[in-house]
Amino acid sequence: MRSILLSRRGLLGASAAGIAAFSHRPRAFAASPPFRLTAGRRTLEVNGKSAPVFGITGPDGTPGVVLDPGQRFAVTLANQAGEDTIVHWHGQTPPYLQDGAVETGGTLIANGADQGYDFVARPGTHWMHSHHGLQEQMLMAAPLIVRTAEDVRADAQEATVLLHDFTFRDPAEILAELGGHGGHGAEMPGMAMPQSSAAPETMAGDIDLNDVEYDAYLANDRTLADPRVVRTERGGRVRLRLINGATTTAFWIDLGALDGTLIAVDGNAVRPLAVRRFPLAQGQRADVLLDLKEAGAFAVLAQREGDRRRTGIILATPQAQIAKVASEADSAAAAVDLSLEARLAAVQPLPPRRPDAVRRIALTGTMTPYVWSIDDRTWRDHQPLVVSHGQRVEVTMVNRSRMAHPMHLHGHHFQVTALGDTRISGALRDTVLVPVNGSVTIAFDADNPGHWLFHCHNLFHMATGMMTEIVYDKAA
Q: Of 24 and 377, which has the nearer Cβ to Cu ion? A: 377
Taking the complex as a whole, the smallest distance from the CB of residue 430 to Cu ion amounts, in Å, to 16
Please, what is the minimum distance in Å from the beta carbon of residue 410 to Cu ion?
16
Q: Are 30 and 121 in contact (CB under 8 A)?
A: no
Query: In this complex, which beta carbon is closest to Cu ion, that of residue 77 or of residue 459?
Result: 459
458 contacts Cu ion (rule: CB under 5 A): yes
Task: Return the SS3 of 104.
Answer: helix
Strand 35-46, strand 73-79: pairing: parallel
127: helix, coil or strand?
strand
Apex 102 CA angle, 432 and 452, nearest 5 = 40
* C-alpha 318, offset from chain centre: 31
Alpha carbon distance 327, 368 (integer Å): 31
Q: How far, in Å, CA of 87 to CA of 144, rounded?
A: 12
Contact 235, 155 (CB under 8 A): no
CA distances from 415 to 117, 263, 424 (A): 27, 16, 9
Cβ at position 280, least distance to Cu ion in Å: 16
Candidate segments 225-233, 252-260, 380-388, 460-468, binder of Cu ion by CB under 5 A: 460-468
**Residue among 185, 211, 194 at smallest CA distance from 377:** 185
Choose between 406 and 411: whose C-beta lies nearer to Cu ion: 406
The rounded distance, in Å, linking the Cα atoms of 221 and 244 is 13
Minimum separation from the CB atom of position 466 to Cu ion (A):
5
Q: Are strands 405-409 and 450-456 parallel, antiparallel or unpaired?
A: antiparallel
Rank residues 228 and 455 by Cβ distance to Cu ion and give the closer one. 455
Smallest gap from residue 267 Cβ to Cu ion (A): 22
Residue 62 phi, psi dihedral angles, 5° rounding: -85, 150
Nearer Cβ to Cu ion (129/405): 405
Q: Does 285 bind Cu ion (CB under 5 A)?
A: no
Residue 463 C-beta: closest distance to Cu ion, Å: 10
Here's the x/- map for Cu ion, 223-242, by CB under 5 A: it reads as: --------------------
Stretch that binds Cu ion, among 177-185, 262-270, 272-280, 457-465 (CB under 5 A): 457-465
Instruction: Kindly tell me which of 230 and 462 has the beta carbon lying closer to Cu ion.
Output: 462
Picking from 411, 414, 415, the residue whose alpha carbon sits closest to that of residue 451 is 411
Residue 455 beta carbon to Cu ion: minimum distance, rounded to whole angstroms? 8
Q: Per CB under 5 A, which of residues 366..385 are in contact with Cu ion?
A: none
Cis omega (within 30 of 0) on the bond before 33? yes
What is the x/- site pattern for Cu ion, positions 384-413, by CB under 5 A? Answer: ---------------------x--------
Query: Smaller CB distance to Cu ion: residue 146 or 407?
Result: 407
Please, which residues bridge with residue 455 across strands? 408, 467
**Is position 132 an interface residue for Cu ion (rule: CB under 5 A)?**
no
> Least distance (Å) from Cu ion to the CB of residue 149?
37
The distance of closest approach from Cβ of residue 441 to Cu ion in the complex, given in angstroms and rounded to an integer, is 18
Nearer to Cu ion, 167 or 364 (CB): 364
Stretch that binds Cu ion, among 13-21, 165-173, 434-442, 459-467 (CB under 5 A): 459-467
Question: 162: helix, coil or strand?
Answer: strand
Q: Is the dihedral of CA 167, 129, 126, 361 positive or negative?
A: negative
Give the residue with the Cβ less far from Cu ion, 181 or 461.
461
Q: How many CB atoms lie within 10 A of CB 399?
A: 21
Taking only Cα atoms into account, the Rg of the chain, rounded to an integer number of angstroms, comes to 21
- Cβ proximity to Cu ion: between 44 and 281 the closer is 281
Min dist CB 405 to Cu ion, Å, is 3
Site for Cu ion in 437-456 (CB under 5 A): 456
Q: Phi then psi for 467, rounded to 5 degrees?
A: -160, 140
Select the residue interacting with Cu ion from 160, 325, 461, 464 (CB under 5 A). Answer: 461
Q: Give the binding site for Cu ion (CB under 5 A).
A: 405, 456, 458, 461
